[in-house]
């Protein structure tokens, strides 16, 4: 394998001016680039890169099979859009150049690609994955459906991870402290009524007073258990019991999920409790 990062039987067309259309809106140039002229994206959402031994050995044997995505800085240097692990492993493997796809994207495009590429990795922690999904939703307005398609996961999985991302900071820090990183456990915590209850529930898990096995969901048996619109995302919520009917209509946050419903219910509860609501 050459020091240029390409497998022995593969070469870029003219190396620096191989033009390939990889999207309808961006012309992208495939080229080999000096590793010293490439730098990481300072806004890289991934802070831990894991053990690069296997990737380094693979690159030594076979070369870089998937080019890095880079953005030209205009001075002969490049910023990594996607592929920082490959760049790091290539240097560890002794390469002097690596194959790159040059893309001219704006700041949002770079951030979206970096996030999506990271979210497609299999070695992310549940926190990295959930925070990455939340960033796509909050910064760029992606719906749960759109995120699911981008990273090839089910919408229910996306919604669950977004629920974890929404944990209050105090609860998150306690979970990190006690290394509670199972998705099922974190979901159980997130589904408690409010922050105080979440903290108490977490303490019970840590002390062993509560089982870490998720409770089994039972089918509705009474009228009071029936809930209209039980999809992962919803724009309204209706609960019908024997003696009352409760409805919530979201006016500013369409496609609200479980967290939004719990927050709305908590606001109503606090308002009635503190005599702030006319009855």
Q: Higher model confidence: residue 43 or residue 168?
A: 168
Predicted pLDDT of residue 133: 87
**CA dist., res. 274 & res. 271, Å (int):** 5
101 — pLDDT class (breaks 50, 70, 90): very high
Predicted pLDDT of residue 18: 28
Q: pLDDT tens-digit profile of 7-40?
A: 554 444 333 332 233 333 444 567 899 999 999 9
Whether pLDDT at 47 is above 70: no
What is the average pLDDT across 169-183? Answer: 94
84 is a catalytic site residue: yes
Using a pLDDT cut of 70, give the percent of the chain over it. 72
Does the reported pTM lie above 0.75?
A: no
Whether pLDDT at 59 is above 90: yes
- Domains of the chain in sequence order: 18-106 (3.90.1530.30), 114-207 (1.10.10.2830), 223-273 (no CATH)
**Of 43-47, 73-77, 173-177, which range is least confident?**
43-47
What is the average pLDDT across 92-113? Answer: 88
Predicted pLDDT of residue 268: 79
Mean pLDDT, the chain, as a whole number?
Answer: 77
Predicted pLDDT of residue 183: 92
Predicted pLDDT of residue 274: 64
What is the average pLDDT across 114-142? Answer: 82
Predicted pLDDT of residue 168: 94
What is the average pLDDT across 123-137? Answer: 86
Predicted pLDDT of residue 4: 56
Q: pLDDT tens-digit profile of 60-84?
A: 999 998 899 999 999 999 999 888 8
With a CB cutoff of 8 Å and minimum separation 6, the contacts of 2 are 8, 63
Given the residues 20, 48, 84, 107, select the one marked as catalytic: 84
Predicted pLDDT of residue 277: 56
Q: pLDDT tens-digit profile of 221-278?
A: 433 444 444 444 456 778 887 788 888 887 765 556 676 777 777 777 767 766 655 5
Predicted pLDDT of residue 86: 92
Predicted pLDDT of residue 37: 96
């Amino acid at each position: 394998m050459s020091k240029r990062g390409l497998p022995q039987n593969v070469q870029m067309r003219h190396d620096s001016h191989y033009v390939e259309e990889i999207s309808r809106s961006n012309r992208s140039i495939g080229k080999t680039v000096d590793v010293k002229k490439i730098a990481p994206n300072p806004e890289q959402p991934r802070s831990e890169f894991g053990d690069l031994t296997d990737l380094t050995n693979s690159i030594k044997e076979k070369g870089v099979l998937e080019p890095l995505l880079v953005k030209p800085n205009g001075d002969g240097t490049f910023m990594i859009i996607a592929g920082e692990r490959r760049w790091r492993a290539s240097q560890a493997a002794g390469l002097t150049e690596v194959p790159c796809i040059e893309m001219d994207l704006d700041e949002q495009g770079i951030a979206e690609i970096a996030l999506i590429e990271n979210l497609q990795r299999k070695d992310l922690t549940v926190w990295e994955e959930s925070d990455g999904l939340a960033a796509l939703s909050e910064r760029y307005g992606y719906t749960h459906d759109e995120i699911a398609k981008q990273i090839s996961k089910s919408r229910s999985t996306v919604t669950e991870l977004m629920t974890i991302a929404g944990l209050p900071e105090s609860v998150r820090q306690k979970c990190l402290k006690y290394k509670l990183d199972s998705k099922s456990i974190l979901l159980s915590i997130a589904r408690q009524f409010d922050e105080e209850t979440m903290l108490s529930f977490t303490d019970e898990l840590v002390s062993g007073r509560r089982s870490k096995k998720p409770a089994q969901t039972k089918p509705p048996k009474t009228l009071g258990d029936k809930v209209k619109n039980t999809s992962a995302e919803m724009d309204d919520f209706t609960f019908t019991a024997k003696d009352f009917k409760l409805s919530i209509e979201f006016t500013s946050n369409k496609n609200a999920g479980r967290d939004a419903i719990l927050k709305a219910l908590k606001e109503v509860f606090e308002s009635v409790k503190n005599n702030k609501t006319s009855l």
